[in-house]
Structure 1
Amino acid sequence: MTATLIQPTHVLDLRTIPPRERHPLIFGRFDGLAVGQALQLVNDHNPQPLHYQFDDRSYGQFEWTVLEAGPSVWRIQIARTADAVNAQPVARGDSCCSGGACCG
């Protein structure tokens, strides 16, 4: 799939947010997006565990695009591509550490 860059509705600099608040904030913002809107995350590490959570929680509803891949700054665009209707979660054996405690 070819990524389409969209002007983000929100830019979240996660480096300034306490770790336990990050994933709930991200999912709350994502849930508020209309199809065709996107948010951009800025982080100090690879947010791959968050990507796994998106696969589990919002499979078929998003497009994940790495805009910058470290080593000190990671920028990710998460675009809403569909509503939650009829989306099916994917079973994964490698879930996020401690239910979001990994600092996403």
Structure 2
Amino acid sequence: MPAETLDLREVPPPQRHPMIHEAFQTLDSGEALEIVNDHEPKPLFYEFQAEVEAFDAEGYSCEERDDGNYVARLPKA
């Protein structure tokens, strides 16, 4: 179960990544941040993989829902 879920669908795009980074920083090791988005967050995955040492890229998952939205899980190592 995620430690926190952020629904980003109504958040203006320029505010999304800073909000995600801030929420991720508050997690403890072993917890995960879940995001709900209106597009596949591949750029976010690559950004976290390159810039966030505590990001567990192996544990990352993302699925598309029937409504065209995406739910991604970003675990913290």
What is the number of equivalent residue pairs in this alignment? 74
* Superposed counterparts of 1:45-84, under 5 Å: 45-59=39-53, 61-62=55-56, 63-66=59-62, 68-70=63-65, 72-81=68-77
Rounded to whole Å, the distance in 2 between the matches of 1:20 and 1:60 is 23
Q: Which runs of 5+ in 1 are unaligned?
A: 1-6, 82-104
Q: Output the CA distance in 2 between the equivalents of 1:70 and 1:45.
A: 11
How does 1:17-96 map onto structure 2 within 5 Å? 17-59=11-53, 61-62=55-56, 63-66=59-62, 68-70=63-65, 72-81=68-77
Q: Which runs of 4+ in 1 moved over 3 A?
A: none
Superposition deviation, residue 69 in structure 1: 2.1
Gaps (5+ residues) in structure 2?
A: none
- Higher-Rg structure is 1
Aligned-partner residue type, residue 69 of structure 2: V
- Please provide the CA RMSD for this pair: 1.6
Q: For each residue in 1:23-76, what CA deviation from the matched residue of structure 2 results, as whole angstroms up to 9, or x when unmatched?
A: 00000111111101111010111110011100111146323111x225711000
Cα distance, 1:60–1:74 mapped onto 2, change above 3 Å: same
Residue 39 of structure 1 aligns with an amino acid whose one-letter code is: L
TM-score (norm 2): 0.85
TM norm structure 1: 0.65
Taking the aligned partners of 1:35 and 1:69, their CA distance within structure 2 comes to 26
